[in-house]
Structure 1
Amino acid sequence: MKTTARLESALKKLYTAFHNNTLNPECCRQCAVGNILNNMDFWKHLSDSHGDLALNYVGKIHETLGRKFNGYAPSELLKIEHIFLNACGYKLPLHYRNEKPKNPTDKDVLFNGLTAVITYLCELDEVANVMDYTKLLEIENGTPKYALS
């Protein structure tokens, strides 16, 4: 499957973080966007609340200037994080009073978040979802329709 450079890079970073236990939804350096941006937290200054989709003044300036961070616009980064936190079970925007998962670093919780993020990243780059395994199960005339490559 052909992917874009930014998608490939993001997938590698997220996969590595998931398996190295360095994916944490409550840490700006270790969340989905933090990992995509090489464990940097500067992106948190693009909005006023963690998990919010609205760009603040700083975010709007970067967006207007056409700035990209590891290939992603500020609004795309906020959407990635919003999707990740939402799929992990957080009520957004992130706030200590809002609902959250009992164990935010549980592999099942993180897997749900990653699955949602990867689906969105593939949509952004107009690439078939790399997590879609349904083609592997399709059968035609009693044999698998597609072979593993």
Structure 2
Amino acid sequence: MKTTQRLESAIEKLYTAFHNNTLNPECCQQCAVGNILDNKDSWKYLSDSHGSLVLNYVGSVHQNLGRKFNGYSPLELLQIEQTFLNACGFQTPLHHQNKKPENPTDKDILFNGLCAVIRFLCELDGINNVMDYTKLFEVENDKPKYALA
């Protein structure tokens, strides 16, 4: 399957963070977007609230100028982060009174977040979800319909 460079890079960084235990939804440097942006937290200045889809003045300026951060626009970054947080069980935007998982760094919770983010990243690039394994189990005449590459 043909993918884009930004998608390949994002998946590699998220995969590494997941397996190195450096994925944390509550940290701007170690969340989904923080990892995609090389563990920088400068993206948090694009919005006034972590998990919000509303660009602030700085975010709007960057968006209107067509700026990209590791291939993603400011609005795409906010969408990626909100997707991750929601799939991890957070109520967004983050606030101390909003719902959050009991153990946000639990591997099962993070895996759910990663699957949602990768699905969303694939949608952004107009390709099939690379995490979709259902085709592996399709059969035709009692034989696998598709062969493993």
TM-score normalised by L of structure 2? 0.99
Task: For structure 1, list consecutive stretches of 5 or more residues without a partner in the other structure.
Answer: none
**Equivalent position of 1:75 in the other structure:** 75
Task: For structure 2, list consecutive stretches of 5 or more residues without a partner in the other structure.
Answer: none
Give, as a single letter, the amino acid of the residue that structure 1 aligns with 2:9.
S
Give, as a single letter, the amino acid of the residue that structure 1 aligns with 2:39.
N
Offset at residue 96 of structure 1 (A): 1.1
Structure 1 runs (4+) greater than 4 angstroms displaced = none
TM-score normalised by L of structure 1? 0.99
SS in 1 for 2:113: helix
What CA distance in whole angstroms lies between the structure 2 residues aligned with 1:119 and 1:71? 17
What CA distance in whole angstroms lies between the structure 2 residues aligned with 1:75 and 1:81? 10
**Equivalent position of 2:106 in the other structure:** 106
What CA distance in whole angstroms lies between the structure 1 residues aligned with 2:145 and 2:122? 23
**Equivalent position of 1:128 in the other structure:** 128
Offset at residue 97 of structure 1 (A): 1.3
Give, as a single letter, the amino acid of the residue that structure 1 aligns with 2:44.
K
Give, as a single letter, the amino acid of the residue that structure 1 aligns with 2:76.
E
The percentage of aligned residue pairs carrying the same residue is: 74
Offset at residue 91 of structure 1 (A): 0.7
Give, as a single letter, the amino acid of the residue that structure 2 aligns with 1:23.
L
